[in-house]
Copies of this chain bind each other. A is one copy, B any other.
């Protein structure tokens, strides 16, 4: 079990690409070695076994999907109106869609987590934290909409990205854009309908 952190990270990032391209079952030590352009056997030295590899990828993938710190900072400060909010959501969808392999890899990990309790635990923790953080940001912004609104927006945007990445001909780019707008608009306009 080698300890060179740069090399380990490079291997994990290579694993993300392999996951997206070959699927969960295609994620082997050999494939990671090839993707990272290191000699065969290297990944074997850095991860105890495939389970360990999955778990470590699960721990890292979410960092790579999150926006960089500058964007987070802008988000925290600048969200005062609906237009700005919508703009941020478009950025989110575009950024995640752009890091194509990252999102596909996350989907593969989700499906794989069905069979790997350790991986499931890691993913559950990360994603729960992300949702709560989003609820927190929204609450701090003072914009209308409760936590349910935020979660519903999260749900819709996630599946929208799934559609876009897996079956790009279902919705046109134009439709995707309009759907993001509509989702944001409804999320912020939902104060009056929270009564059951």
Contacts and interface: CB of A to CB of B under 8 A. Distances in A.
Number of copies: 2
B170 A196 contact: no
A127 B168 CA distance: 12
Interface stretch (A22-30, A32-40, A49-57, A133-141): A22-30
Interface stretch (A3-11, A70-78, A151-159): A151-159
A109 to B, nearest CB: 9
A152 B26 CA distance: 34
A49 to B, nearest CB: 18
A166 interface: yes
Interface in A143-174: 148, 151-152, 154-160, 162-163, 165-167, 169-170
Contacts of A124: 167, 169-170
Contacts of A111: 23, 104, 107-108, 111, 166
Contacts of A14: none
Nearest to A126: B167
